[in-house]
Structure 1
Amino acid sequence: MPAPPSRRPARSRVRVLVAGLVVLALGLLSTRLLDGVAGDVVGGGLYALLVYLAIAFGLPRISAIADAITTFVVCALIELWQLTGMPAQLAEAFPPAALLFGTTFTLADLPPYAVGALAGVAIDRLLRRIRR
């Protein structure tokens, strides 16, 4: 039975998952290839893009703008959480946690998060066009 016209069509979870795997691979690769500011900027943007895609996967009917706003808020809250020192302690106990939560608060990480969230909107629209 087709969805009622008032409901937003769901994203293709397969496409979102594939995009997420590509972004994850690029993010891990960027940690090996890029140093300094370039690595921080690219890594922050890819991190936010991955958060965007995770939200899109979990909530396939959320609008792109709502997803982008949620992405930025989640990334900013994780960044602020670093001020508590808890992510650094977690990374000491389980080093891969540093990739997920970071360890050190840096205000300069916020602009790349915004760019990553906006890139999510662009990719989302591209995936929807491909779907049509």
Structure 2
Amino acid sequence: MDDLRGRWAVRGLAAAAAALSVAAGLGVRAVLGGEAAKYAGDALYTVLLYTLVVLLAPRLRPWTAAAWAAGLSWAVELFQLTGVPDDLARHSTLARLVLGSTFNPPDLLWYLAGAASAALAHRGARAA
């Protein structure tokens, strides 16, 4: 019973972290602008994916969740090479937010930074 309760506690924290990462991403774009906002948004995109991975699989270790989040982010970025996300982004704001539009190699690095930051925060939270 305690294990089940613990998993639900982790899921609650992951859901709160997801909402916080979305708010941070929107806030960064509204306040900073330019490349700083873009790359912070990339990192926060992966933080959001990290929180969603933990929400679905609360028992994952932080670095495993980070690998999943970074891998998903990279998959979306590489999907942009097909041109499909760009076409979808022209017709849907949601598609633009979720899939982006054009491939940008530096984004791959920022996804790793977001995944590592989320894993470090997760490890710290687990230790506390």
Q: Distance in 2 between matches of 1:12 and 1:95?
A: 31
Aligned twin of 1:114: 112
Q: TM-score, normalised by structure 2?
A: 0.89
Is the CA contact 1:82–1:104 (under 8 Å) kept in the aligned structure 2?
yes
The amino acid that maps onto 1:56 is: V
How far did 1:65 drift?
1.0
* Structure 2 unaligned residues grouped into runs of 5+: none
Aligned twin of 1:6: none
Match of 2:88 among 87, 90, 108: 90
* Structure 1 unaligned residues grouped into runs of 5+: 4-8
Q: Distance in 1 between matches of 2:35 and 2:89?
A: 22
How far did 1:127 drift?
2.4
Q: Does residue 125 of the first structure (1) align with residue 118 of the second (2)?
A: no
The amino acid that maps onto 2:88 is: L
Q: Distance in 1 between matches of 2:83 and 2:29?
A: 22
SS in 1 for 2:93: coil
Q: Distance in 1 between matches of 2:2 and 2:29?
A: 44
Cα distance per residue 1:85-118 (max 9 Å; x no partner): 1111111121221111100100010111001001
Q: Distance in 1 between matches of 2:64 and 2:57?
A: 11
Q: Distance in 2 between matches of 1:17 and 1:80?
A: 27
Q: Distance in 1 between matches of 2:42 and 2:36?
A: 10
The amino acid that maps onto 1:83 is: L
How far did 1:2 drift?
4.7
Q: Does residue 47 of the first structure (1) align with residue 45 of the second (2)?
A: yes
% identity of equivalent residues: 30
The amino acid that maps onto 1:72 is: A
Within a 5 Å distance, the mapping from 1:1-132 to structure 2 comes to: 1-3=1-3, 10=7, 12-130=10-128
Q: Please say which structure displays the higher CA radius of gyration.
A: 1
Counting helix residues as a fraction of each chain, which structure ranks higher?
A: 2
Q: Distance in 2 between matches of 1:2 and 1:42?
A: 37
